[in-house]
C-alpha cells in the first residue's frame, strides 16, 4: 500500500459562488480523498487533500477537467504538507482570513436548469420568481462582504426552509448542495406590487398584473438584480412617446428585452457573434441593426437597437405574457442620476415617470447596471462593462503598486490595483452628479476594504475641472498622480496586448474631449506610448472652438468654427448656413453664427483636435443632428446614415510639421459641393477619416523606422465601424494589425485601467 500524502491546494480565480465546494466534496469522496474544502476571505478557496499518490493525482486531474461551468482557475498553488490523518472529507465553515486574493464573483444570469424548474408544475420552484442554484443567480449585487457565504449576502434575512435545507445538505443534489443563494417560494424573497403613490396593492399574481398593465400601455418600475428597470411596450409609438416625455429623454435610445433568440431575430438582425453573447451567463445588452417591428421612437434616427435576453425567472415569466415578446427595459433613473436600488428612491424619484412598482424583498447591496456591447467592424467591444463582468479583475503582465484611479468625467468607472491585477468598478456614470461621486467613493472604499489594499497613489485625469477631483480628499495619504486622458486610453489598450511596460506602441486615440498637456482639448491623437510616457506624433489640424459647452450641444457651431479655422470665407460660411437652413438651429440664429465665426477666425476659444467635434460639424452639414441631446448623438447619427452609403474614396490630406497633421478642409469642401447622396457622403467622410488616420500611422512608423506589428485604436470614437474599416483599409495590406481594447471599454469607462498603470509606473521605476 502507498503511503498517504497531503496537499494544501489554493484556488484563485472565479471560485466562490459557482458551486465549487460541493463539486470538490463530491470529487474527493469519489476519489477516496480525505480532508476539507473551504472559502477564504480573499474570495479564494482552500482545499486540504489527503490520500495515496494515485488518488491525489486523479483528484487534481478531475479538479481541472470537471469543474463547474462558471468556475475559472487563474492560479493554483499546491503545497505538500504532513498528512493529518483525516477520516473523511468535509466542507468547512468559511475562514474570513485570507492569504491570497481572488476574483469577487460577478452576477450570473439564471441557468437553463433553473429556468426549466419554473415551468415544471411538479417542481416546488414552479413559477418561482427568484429561482437560482450553485451555478447561477446574483452574486456581487447582493454581497456585503467576503467570503461569498449566505450570511455575508442580502439573502441572510431569508433563512432556509426545511426543504431548502434538505437540498442544501444533500451531497447528491448537484445544484443546491451548499449553494449559498438558494431559496424557494416558501422561504425566499416575495414579490409585491405598489402604486407609485406608495399604496401596496392586493394582487394574486404580480407577473400577471405587471404584464396586464404593460399591455394596457402603462409604464412600470420593476426591481431586478442590480437595480430597477423601467418597463413598457416597445412596439407602440404612443407608449414610447409617453415614456420619453415623462422621462424628459428626447432621443437617447432605450434598451429592449426580448423573450428569446427567435424574438431577437424578429426585431433586429443579430450579427454572427451576437447569439453567444446574448445567451451567455453575463447576458449583456448587445447593440445590433434593428428592424421596423419595434417603434422607431425606441432608438430614433439610429440604425441599431440594444437588445438583451431575460436574466431572472421573473423577467422570463413576464416576457412570456407579453404578446409581442419584447419590452423596453431601461434603467430606472432620473436623467444623469444613478439607477434606483431602493423602494423609497423609486417613490421619490420616479413618481412622474412610472404608474406602478414591482418590488421584491431582497436588498440590492451593489448597484449594477446592465452591460452594453456593440460590434465595431465585426468585433465585439464594450460600451459599458458592468453586470456579469464587474468586479472581475484584469490581469496584467507585471506587478503594479497598490492604488486607486478615479476615471474620467462622463460615463465612467473607477479602479483599484494590487499584485498584477486591476479591478475596475462597475459602471458608475457621470461624475458631475453628486450621487455618482458618492457611488464611486462607496464602491472604491468597498474594494479597498475587501481586498485590504493600502493605496500608495491615487490617479486622476489631468483636467483641472473634472468633478472626480472632489474625491481626492476622501483618500488621504496616497500620492496624487495626474494622467493625460489619451495616454490613459492608450495604456489601457497596451496592457491588453500584454506588452511590457517599457515597450512602445502606436495608439490612435479618438474621442470627444480630453485635456491635453498643452491645455488644449485633444481628441484625435496619434501617440507613441509606453506605460510611463508618450509622444504626440500626430493629430487633426487644431481649430478654435468658441462657446465651450454650447458648442458641444449645437453641432452647427462646430461647423462654423471648423470652417472659420480652416480658412473658409465669411460669406461662404453664411451662405451655406442659410442655404441648408441651419441658422434656425442656433438659439441666437445668425448673430450667434457671426460671433462664432469672428471669434474662431481671431483664434479665440479652446484649441481643439477633437474628432468628436469634427464629426459634429459633418453631422450638422448633412443635417442629421443639429442639437445634441445625449453624449455622442451626432456621430452616432452620422454612422447610422453612413450604414446605407457607398464609399467614394476621398481621404483628408496629411502634412508634417512638428507632428503629422490631418487636415479635413478639402474633405469638408467636397462634402459641401458634391451632388452625391447624403448616405454616400457620410460613408465617405467616416471611412476617409479612417484612411487618413491609417496613413498618419504608417507615416509615423516610417519616419521613426519602427515596426510595431500592431496599431492600437481606442477612445470613444473607435467603436465607429466605418472609421475602423478605413484604418484597416490602409494598415492591413501593410501587415499591421489594428487592435481595439476587448476586455475594457475603449471609451471613458475603461480609462481607469490606463490611469492605474501610468501612475504605478512612475512610482515603481
Q: Shortest CA distance to 512 belongs to which of 717, 726, 720?
A: 717
* Contacting Zn ion within 561-590 (CB under 5 A): none
Respond yes or no: is residue 704 known to be catalytic: no
Q: What is the dihedral of CA 124, 127, 131, 135, to 10 degrees?
A: 90
* Contacting Zn ion within 84-123 (CB under 5 A): 111, 114
- Among residues 186 and 200, whose Cβ is nearest to Zn ion? 186
> Which grid coordinates belong to 107?
452576477
Q: Shortest CA distance to 722 belongs to which of 700, 693, 744?
A: 693
- Among residues 361 and 631, whose Cβ is nearest to Zn ion? 361
- Among residues 184 and 428, whose Cβ is nearest to Zn ion? 184
> Which grid coordinates belong to 24?
470538490
* Contacting Zn ion within 330-359 (CB under 5 A): none
Residue 13, SS3 per DSSP: strand
- Among residues 78 and 113, whose Cβ is nearest to Zn ion? 113
Please pick, among 39, 333, 544, 720, the residue that the annotation labels catalytic: 39
Quote the least distance from Cβ 181 to Zn ion, whole Å. 9
How would you write 572-625 as a 3-class SS string? Answer: HHHHHHHHCCCHHHCCCHHHHHHHHHHHHHCCCCEEECCHHHHHHHHHHHCCCC
* Contacting Zn ion within 161-200 (CB under 5 A): 161, 164, 184, 186-187
Quote the least distance from Cβ 224 to Zn ion, whole Å. 17
Quote the least distance from Cβ 159 to Zn ion, whole Å. 9
Place of cell 451655406: 576
Distance CA 651, CA 687 (A): 8
Quote the least distance from Cβ 165 to Zn ion, whole Å. 8
- Among residues 44 and 117, whose Cβ is nearest to Zn ion? 117
Quote the least distance from Cβ 69 to Zn ion, whole Å. 10
Quote the least distance from Cβ 92 to Zn ion, whole Å. 24
Q: Shortest CA distance to 441 belongs to which of 450, 454, 431, 451?
A: 431
Quote the least distance from Cβ 274 to Zn ion, whole Å. 23
Size of the site for Zn ion (CB under 5 A): 9
Quote the least distance from Cβ 368 to Zn ion, whole Å. 19
356 Cβ contact list (under 8 Å, min separation 6)? 193, 194, 195, 196, 201, 209, 210, 213, 218, 220, 221
Q: Does 313 bind Zn ion (CB under 5 A)?
A: no
- Among residues 184 and 319, whose Cβ is nearest to Zn ion? 184
CA atoms lying within 13 Å on the CB side of residue 482 = 11
Helices and strands (H, E) in the chain, number of each type: 22, 31
Respond yes or no: is residue 544 known to be catalytic: no
Helices 751-764, 485-497: axis angle to 10 degrees equals: 90
* Contacting Zn ion within 592-611 (CB under 5 A): none
Q: Please state, in angstroms and as integers, the Cα–Cα distance from residue 228 to each residue in 225, 342, 352, 371, 448, following that order.
A: 8, 8, 15, 14, 27
* Sign of the C-alpha dihedral computed for residues 254, 255, 259 and 261 taken in this order: positive
- Among residues 164 and 368, whose Cβ is nearest to Zn ion? 164
Phi (first) and psi of residue 209, to 5 degrees: -60, -50
How would you write 368-434 as a 3-class SS string? Answer: CCCCEEEEECCEEEEEECCCCCCCCEEECCCCCCCEEECCCCCCECCEEEECCEEEECCCCECCCCH
Site string for Zn ion, 444-483 (x = CB under 5 A): ----------------------------------------
- Among residues 189 and 332, whose Cβ is nearest to Zn ion? 189
Q: Does 133 bind Zn ion (CB under 5 A)?
A: yes
Among residues 136, 221, 233, 625, which is the contact residue for Zn ion, using CB under 5 A?
136
Q: Does 404 bind Zn ion (CB under 5 A)?
A: no
- Among residues 170 and 572, whose Cβ is nearest to Zn ion? 170
Please pick, among 21, 283, 541, 725, the residue that the annotation labels catalytic: 21
Distance CA 544, CA 558 (A): 9
Contact region with Zn ion (CB under 5 A), list: 126-134, 497-505, 652-660, 664-672:
126-134
251 Cβ contact list (under 8 Å, min separation 6)? 244, 300, 301, 629, 630, 633
Quote the least distance from Cβ 119 to Zn ion, whole Å. 14
Number of other residues whose CB lies within 10 A of the CB of residue 557:
29
Give the footprint of Zn ion on this chain (CB under 5 A): 111, 114, 133, 136, 161, 164, 184, 186-187
Residues labelled as active-site residues: 21, 39
Amino acid at each position: 500500500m502507498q503511503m498517504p500524502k497531503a496537499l494544501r491546494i489554493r484556488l484563485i480565480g472565479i471560485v466562490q459562488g459557482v458551486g465549487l465546494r460541493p463539486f470538490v466534496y463530491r470529487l474527493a469522496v469519489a476519489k477516496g480523498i480525505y480532508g476539507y474544502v473551504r472559502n477564504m476571505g480573499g474570495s479564494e478557496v482552500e482545499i486540504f487533500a489527503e490520500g495515496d499518490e494515485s488518488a491525489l493525482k486523479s483528484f487534481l486531474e478531475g479538479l481541472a477537467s470537471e469543474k463547474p461551468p462558471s468556475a475559472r482557475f487563474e492560479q493554483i498553488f499546491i503545497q505538500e504538507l504532513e498528512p493529518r490523518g483525516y477520516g473523511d472529507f468535509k466542507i468547512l465553515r468559511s475562514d474570513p482570513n485570507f492569504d491570497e486574493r481572488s476574483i469577487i464573483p460577478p452576477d450570473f444570469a439564471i441557468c437553463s436548469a433553473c429556468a426549466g424548474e419554473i415551468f415544471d408544475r411538479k417542481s416546488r420552484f414552479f413559477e418561482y420568481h427568484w429561482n437560482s442554484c450553485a451555478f447561477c443567480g446574483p452574486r456581487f449585487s447582493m454581497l456585503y462582504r467576503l467570503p461569498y457565504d449566505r450570511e455575508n449576502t442580502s439573502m441572510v434575512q431569508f433563512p432556509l426552509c426545511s426543504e431548502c435545507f434538505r437540498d442544501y445538505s444533500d451531497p447528491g443534489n448537484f445544484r443546491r448542495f451548499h449553494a449559498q443563494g438558494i431559496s424557494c417560494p416558501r422561504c425566499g424573497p416575495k414579490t409585491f406590487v405598489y402604486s407609485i403613490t406608495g399604496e401596496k396593492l392586493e394582487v394574486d399574481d404580480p407577473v400577471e398584473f405587471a404584464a396586464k398593465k404593460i399591455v394596457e400601455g402603462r409604464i412600470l418600475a420593476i426591481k431586478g438584480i442590480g437595480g430597477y428597470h423601467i418597463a413598457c411596450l416597445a412596439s407602440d409609438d404612443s407608449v414610447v412617446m409617453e415614456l420619453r416625455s415623462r422621462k424628459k429623454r428626447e432621443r437617447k435610445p432605450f434598451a429592449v428585452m426580448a423573450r428569446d433568440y427567435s424574438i431577437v431575430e424578429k426585431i433586429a438582425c443579430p450579427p454572427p457573434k451576437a447569439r453567444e453573447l446574448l445567451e451567455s451567463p453575463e447576458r449583456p445588452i448587445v447593440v445590433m441593426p434593428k428592424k421596423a417591428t419595434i417603434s422607431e421612437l425606441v432608438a430614433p434616427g439610429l440604425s441599431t437597437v440594444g437588445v438583451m435576453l431575460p436574466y431572472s425567472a421573473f423577467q422570463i415569466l413576464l416576457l412570456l405574457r407579453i404578446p409581442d415578446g419584447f419590452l423596453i427595459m431601461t434603467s430606472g433613473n432620473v436623467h444623469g442620476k444613478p439607477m434606483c436600488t431602493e423602494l423609497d428612491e423609486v417613490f421619490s424619484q420616479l413618481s412622474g415617470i412610472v404608474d406602478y412598482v414591482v418590488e421584491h424583498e431582497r436588498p440590492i447591496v451593489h448597484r449594477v447596471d446592465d452591460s452594453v456591447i456593440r460590434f465595431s467592424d465585426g468585433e465585439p467591444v464594450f460600451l459599458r462593462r458592468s453586470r456579469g463582468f464587474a468586479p472581475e479583475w484584469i490581469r496584467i503582465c507585471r506587478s503594479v503598486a497598490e492604488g486607486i484611479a478615479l476615471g474620467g468625467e462622463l460615463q465612467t468607472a473607477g479602479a483599484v490595483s494590487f499584485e498584477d491585477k486591476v479591478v475596475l468598478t462597475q459602471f458608475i456614470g457621470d461624475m458631475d452628479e453628486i450621487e455618482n461621486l458618492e457611488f464611486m467613493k462607496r464602491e472604491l472604499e468597498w474594494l479597498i476594504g475587501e481586498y485590504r489594499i493600502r493605496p500608495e497613489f491615487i490617479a486622476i485625469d489631468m483636467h483641472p475641472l473634472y468633478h472626480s477631483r472632489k474625491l481626492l480628499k476622501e483618500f488621504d495619504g496616497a500620492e496624487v498622480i495626474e494622467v493625460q486622458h489619451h495616454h490613459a486610453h492608450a495604456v489601457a489598450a497596451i496592457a491588453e496586448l500584454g506588452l511590457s511596460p517599457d515597450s512602445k506602441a502606436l495608439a490612435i486615440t479618438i474621442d470627444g474631449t480630453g485635456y491635453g498637456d498643452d491645455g488644449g482639448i485633444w481628441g484625435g491623437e496619434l501617440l507613441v506610448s509606453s506605460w510611463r510616457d508618450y509622444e504626440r506624433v500626430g493629430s487633426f489640424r487644431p481649430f478654435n472652438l468658441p462657446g465651450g459647452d454650447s458648442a458641444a450641444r449645437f453641432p452647427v457651431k462646430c461647423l462654423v468654427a471648423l470652417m472659420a479655422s480652416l480658412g473658409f470665407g465669411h460669406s461662404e460660411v453664411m451662405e451655406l448656413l442659410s442655404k441648408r437652413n441651419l441658422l434656425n438651429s442656433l438659439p441666437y440664429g445668425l448673430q450667434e453664427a457671426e460671433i462664432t465665426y469672428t471669434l474662431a477666425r481671431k483664434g479665440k476659444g479652446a484649441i481643439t483636435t477633437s474628432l468628436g467635434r469634427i464629426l459634429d460639424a459633418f453631422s450638422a452639414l448633412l443635417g442629421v443632428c443639429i442639437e445634441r441631446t445625449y453624449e455622442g448623438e451626432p456621430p452616432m447619427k452620422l454612422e447610422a446614415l453612413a450604414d446605407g452609403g457607398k464609399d467614394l474614396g476621398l481621404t483628408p490630406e496629411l502634412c508634417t510639421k512638428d507632428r503629422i497633421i490631418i487636415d479635413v478642409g478639402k474633405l469638408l469642401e467636397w462634402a459641401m459641393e458634391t451632388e452625391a447622396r447624403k448616405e454616400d457622403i457620410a460613408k465617405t467622410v467616416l471611412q476617409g477619416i479612417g484612411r487618413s488616420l491609417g496613413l498618419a500611422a504608417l507615416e509615423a512608423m516610417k519616419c521613426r523606422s519602427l515596426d510595431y506589428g500592431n496599431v492600437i485604436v481606442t477612445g470613444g470614437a473607435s467603436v465607429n465601424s466605418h472609421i475602423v474599416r478605413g484604418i484597416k483599409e490602409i494598415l492591413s495590406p501593410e501587415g499591421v494589425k489594428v487592435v481595439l481594447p476587448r476586455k475594457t471599454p475603449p471609451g471613458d469607462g475603461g480609462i481607469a485601467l490606463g490611469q492605474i498603470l501610468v501612475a504605478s509606473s512612475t512610482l515603481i521605476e
